[in-house]
Amino acid sequence: MALMAASLARAAGRLPANKNVKWALGTNLWNYFPRVAFTDILDVMRDTGFIGARLTQFPKILETYGITAAQMRREADRRGCRVVTISFNGAAHVRERRGEVIADARKAMGFLKDFGANHLVVFSPGRNNSGEAGFGAMCECFNEIGRAAREMGFYAGLHNHLGQMVETREEIEQCMALTDPKLFYFSPDTAHLHLAGCDAVKTLEKYKARLMMADYKDARRAANTTPDKLDRNAIFDLGDGEIDFPGCHRVLKSIGFQGWLVVDLDIARHGPRASYERSGKYVVKKLEPVYV
């Protein structure tokens, strides 16, 4: 019994500490594998130390997994896990649909509030909608989403993404300039920054005052390619790509960051559990000595 207890203690010691920096994963990864019960995702979270989840395809995800919000909350609580945000998107570039978008954002935040969450990650519309008028309308809508979020005790922030209206360094800068820093924040994705030609560390440093959470996702740039769409094969487990995560962590340390980082993998070459075990080891070995 003593040997077993010692073994379990050693195993637990290899998991991310989840102190100032709290670690989460994205449920979208499981869409690339044969369907499992949502409790299987929660089991991976509990066992690997990535104890938060960012939900995708809300509210359809409840139907996809045949689970109610109450059941999801109960099963998460049983495992010491949490739902921490939703990947939110809508026709923010269309002024005539703004009321619909804000209503959907409020619905998503109402769902999250029951889980004790207070962040909404906001994606921009698809890149085929780009244009000066649409970009301006989108930023106006982002401010309205941010205003609704603050009224509900939430923070809403931009998530940059390849193939969407906010992809490049210039577009991120424009969006940040056209949105109110008191209403709308920043939730960057390091892989999408890197693949779009941005420096992840410098971007976090520049917008650290608006940083609400982030995706720590590793990537490698392929030669002679353009960042017009995401190639899942460019995404890697933490530490297997080219991104300077210790440098990113030093930025977090400089602001005393206390919040969630989402390792939202697009590919798991040996399955989700193996990828999150590998990523967890990298967190413990390389990142926690910088800032835990």
3-state helix, strand, coil in the chain (%, to 5): 50, 15, 35
What local confidence, expressed as pLDDT, does residue 226 receive? Answer: 62
Calculate mean pLDDT across residues 82-103.
Answer: 97
Q: Containing H/E element for 53?
A: strand 52-55
Domain count of the fold of the chain = 1
What local confidence, expressed as pLDDT, does residue 3 receive? Answer: 38
Looking at the domain assignment, is residue 11 inside a domain?
no
Calculate mean pLDDT across residues 72-88.
Answer: 98
Q: Regarding predicted confidence, which is higher, 202 or 2?
A: 202
b/e 35-63 (16+ beta carbons within 10 angstroms → b): eeebbebbbbbbebbbbbbbbbebeebbe
Looking at the domain assignment, is residue 62 inside a domain?
yes
121 half-sphere exposure, CB direction, 13 A CA radius: 25
The token duo for 255 is 């602001």
34 half-sphere exposure, CB direction, 13 A CA radius: 0
166 three-class SS: coil
What local confidence, expressed as pLDDT, does residue 225 receive? Answer: 59
Calculate mean pLDDT across residues 64-74.
Answer: 98
Q: How confident is the model at residue 13 (pLDDT cuts 50, 70, 90)?
A: low
223 half-sphere exposure, CB direction, 13 A CA radius: 0
Looking at the domain assignment, is residue 3 inside a domain?
no
In terms of Cα–Cα distance, which of 85, 82, 151 is closest to 118? 85
Looking at the domain assignment, is residue 6 inside a domain?
no
Q: What are phi and psi of 79, to 5 degrees?
A: -105, 5
Looking at the domain assignment, is residue 253 inside a domain?
yes
Residue 153 pLDDT exceeds 50: yes
Looking at the domain assignment, is residue 80 inside a domain?
yes
What local confidence, expressed as pLDDT, does residue 201 receive? Answer: 98
Residue 40 pLDDT exceeds 50: yes
Residue 7 pLDDT exceeds 90: no
Q: What is the CATH number of the domain that holds 45?
A: 3.20.20.150
In terms of Cα–Cα distance, which of 123, 130, 127, 107 is closest to 156? 123
pLDDT digits (tens, 9 = 90+) for 266-281: 999 999 999 999 999 9
Calculate mean pLDDT across residues 28-53.
Answer: 98
Looking at the domain assignment, is residue 199 inside a domain?
yes
Whose tokens are 């930025």? That residue is 251
Mean pLDDT of the chain: 94
What local confidence, expressed as pLDDT, does residue 1 receive? Answer: 44
Calculate mean pLDDT across residues 165-192.
Answer: 98
Residue 228 pLDDT exceeds 70: no
Q: How confident is the model at residue 5 (pLDDT cuts 50, 70, 90)?
A: very low
Looking at the domain assignment, is residue 217 inside a domain?
yes
pLDDT digits (tens, 9 = 90+) for 102-133: 999 999 999 999 999 999 999 999 998 768 88
Whose tokens are 């509210």? That residue is 59
Calculate mean pLDDT across residues 200-224.
Answer: 95
Calculate mean pLDDT across residues 92-111.
Answer: 98
261 three-class SS: strand
* CB-based contacts of 74, cutoff 8 Å, min separation 6: none
In terms of Cα–Cα distance, which of 29, 45, 56, 60 is closest to 237? 29
* Residue 85 domain boundaries: 18-287
